[in-house]
Amino acid sequence: MKANNLLNEKSPYLLQHAYNPVDWYPWNDEAISKAKSENKPIFLSIGYSSCYWCHVMEREVFENESIAKRMNEYFVNIKVDREERPDLDRIYMTALQAMTGSGGWPMSMFLTPNFKPFYGATYIPPRAKYGRSGFEDVIEQIHIAWTERSKDVIKSSDDITEHLQKFILNSEKSKYELSEEIINNAFRKTIEYYDEEFGGFGKGNKFPRPSVFNFLLTYYYFKKDFKALDIVTYTLKKMHDGGMYDHLGGGFHRYSVDHFWRVPHFEKMLYDQAQLICTYLDTFLITRNKFFLETAEDVLKYVIDNLKNPEGGFYSAEDAESLPSHNAKLKEEGAFYLWTSDELQKILGAEDYAIFKHYFGIQNHGNTVNDPHGVFGRKNVLFMENDEHDTAKKFGKTADDIKEIIDACKEKLIHERSKRPKPFLDNKILTSWNGLMIAALSKAFQVTGKREYLEAAKSAAEFILLKLYDKESRNLLHRFRENDSKFSGTLEDYAYFISGLLELYESDFGIKYLQISIELSKRADELFYDQKNGGFFDTDSREANIILKTKDIYDGAEPSGNSVQIMNLLRLGNITGDDELINKAEKSLILYSGDLERMPFSSPSMLCSLGFYLNSPKEIVITGKNGNEKFNTFLDLIHKTYMPNKVLMHANEELKKISEFISEISGDGNEDKVFVCENFKCNLPITELAALKKLLLKTE
């Protein structure tokens, strides 16, 4: 089949569509010029490579010759990878949610030649089903409307765009006093949404939303409200024990399609792994329960083994579907992960299978029968229905015996699973998601002391600096694949990467990473900060063909760039003593205070930034020689103490050039000491570990 205009793209998602009969274009000047010169509406399809329903729509609609012929006649068809162009995705998702009340992927948007939206949907079947209009009918109706009433369509698109811009501006007008009550109100709302029986929030699909967990852990730290901690520990345990966790290979799937974490949507995303690693590590620091540490390290192993580029960066995702066998032609969701009871019995043997069956909830007819899409047949997903103790009691063995048997069974299944076709790997490397992973690896080193994590964090940081950073312009780029670096960095690229570099600096005080984070923060200020009102725009205002200037603060699967960058400003302001940075953070928090008051559950990361601002941070300064035994002992204690409101510095000569504050308190800095400053005063220098432990733990 003849290739279309996507053939020379680098995005795995776009390349998956390169041989569709649809005459696809990437989002570029050629496609937009074509729409304008031919006066055709644009059909914009946005998705990503590991999106299951994106693949379904491709098979049903975009590979249909008859439908493709009409698409090519009626529209200029543009395909966008949301992970390559999060700026476009955010704009049109905002429009879709305003038009329909919901959103998702694949996103199907119809635009005027000036790329203003007038109709939108998500998945559209070829013909009417699932209570949805059929794609054939939709494009016919839109074609008729455009050819007969184009002025009405254009006016509608203008009205929609104007309404969205006004909504964005108006949402920033209501402001509240920055106070603890905003945070307390958010906690009360979080409890309202909490599922007491199964953990998580709501009663439908269950998504891991690490920003909520981080808010609750921070709330527990300051308020000592055990309800906040209980919500996190119970939910993290249920997530791990359910089918959303890969009990053989490690790592979390994207979300659960039911409300009790049983049947997952099987894609695995780098951003989920990175954030959940941090959440499990923080929960371990608070509880000292090794379950949380072991889970975090298991996820780290999955990421390093499966998503790490040999040069140091981290790939984006693994697909939800794969071929059920090497001879099969059609992919199936979950094929790599699911098992029939007959398969398991044959591999494990009757005696071990009986134990494994009880432990992992295996059913002869399959345990995925409640899958709402009905795609898994008589297969089983592994979830922990009974623990070692329950299983031991049933089979007259000890818990250690059961653990040994289960581990042996897992090894057999891992070996057997390795023979199956693996899910597709989306091997593009994104600056933003690598920033999250750098932070996770840095935190893992801090908690465990294992240098392989620190080296992996440094390797990823160096990869981004080499491949996706221009030193002369001080600009970040967004995506790297096959020696091609492309797309201007968005706010999230800068914010996440800066955050990762700060975490990396606090790990072993490599001053280079602090210096770069300061430079990148200055550049982010130039590109994205709203000097008049505060807050950060999501994209560089110079970016062409952008119809809306958004300032997103919603923390979904990923935290908003605004939330993270405001926290970066607060951290850098306290490290450098630059009050201007703190003032910009304060101005931004005031700007968003109305949203935090009205919709607190939507922005938990912003609430963490607010908490950092309201509660004087601990500025911890270590003097002495990095690497000395006493220095290392101090540093190890600090790293292993949960303090969400700390900034950590080593008072060496390089840092003194950056921060006058350091020179004022640290003197010559030759002796191994710790200075802890908070509430605008510094404690006397600490020279003994017991005294430091007493000071740090008094508020934990």
pLDDT digits (tens, 9 = 90+) for 85-133: 999 999 999 999 999 988 999 999 999 999 999 999 999 999 987 677 8
Are 214 and 440 contacting, i.e. CB atoms less than 8 angstroms apart? no
pLDDT band, very low/low/confident/very high, at 681 (cuts 50, 70, 90): confident
CA atoms of 13 and 11, how far apart (whole Å): 5
pLDDT of residue 375: 57
Give mean pLDDT, residues 347-353.
97
Q: If DSSP codes are grouped into helix, strand and coil, which group holds residue 541?
A: coil
pLDDT digits (tens, 9 = 90+) for 398-424: 999 999 999 999 999 999 999 999 999
pLDDT digits (tens, 9 = 90+) for 499-516: 999 999 999 999 999 999
Are 497 and 475 contacting, i.e. CB atoms less than 8 angstroms apart? no
Q: Tell me the HSE value of 239 on the side-chain side, using a 13 A CA sphere.
A: 33
pLDDT of residue 296: 98
pLDDT digits (tens, 9 = 90+) for 255-298: 999 999 999 999 999 999 999 999 999 999 999 999 999 999 99
CA atoms of 372 and 38, how far apart (whole Å): 43
Domain ranges (residues) in the chain: 12-170, 203-426, 616-700
Give mean pLDDT, residues 232-242.
98
pLDDT of residue 371: 52
| Cα distance from N-terminal residue to C-terminal residue, the chain | 64
The Cβ of residue 251 has, within 10 Å, a number of other Cβ atoms equal to 22
Confidence check: pLDDT of 216 > 90: yes
CATH number of 12-170, picked from 3.40.50.10800, 3.30.497.10, 1.10.1040.10, 3.40.30.10: 3.40.30.10
Are 27 and 88 contacting, i.e. CB atoms less than 8 angstroms apart? yes
pLDDT digits (tens, 9 = 90+) for 314-341: 999 999 999 999 999 899 999 999 999 9
Question: 121 CB contacts (<8 Å, ≥6 apart)?
Answer: 96, 100, 108, 132, 133, 138
List, as one string, the DSSP characters of 409-466.
Answer: HHHHHHHHHTTSPPPPEE--EEHHHHHHHHHHHHHHHHHH--HHHHHHHHHHHHHHHH
For residue 632 the two structure tokens come to 């290392």
Nearest to 399 by CA among 389, 408, 409: 389
Give mean pLDDT, residues 634-643.
97
Q: If DSSP codes are grouped into helix, strand and coil, which group holds residue 323?
A: coil
The Cβ of residue 134 has, within 10 Å, a number of other Cβ atoms equal to 16
For residue 568 the two structure tokens come to 């970066």
Confidence check: pLDDT of 699 > 70: no
Radius of gyration of the chain (CA): 26
pLDDT of residue 321: 92
Q: What are phi and psi of 412, to 5 degrees?
A: -65, -40
Strand 107-111: give its sheet, edge to edge: 24-25, 76-81, 42-47, 107-111, 117-121
For residue 136 the two structure tokens come to 């054939």
CA atoms of 42 and 48, how far apart (whole Å): 19
CA atoms of 595 and 176, how far apart (whole Å): 9
Give Cα separations from 672 to 63, 630, 654, 668, 692 (angstroms).
68, 7, 17, 11, 12
616-700 folds as: Glutaredoxin (3.40.30)
For residue 409 the two structure tokens come to 């069974």
Question: 329 CB contacts (<8 Å, ≥6 apart)?
Answer: 323
Confidence check: pLDDT of 78 > 60: yes
pLDDT band, very low/low/confident/very high, at 369 (cuts 50, 70, 90): low
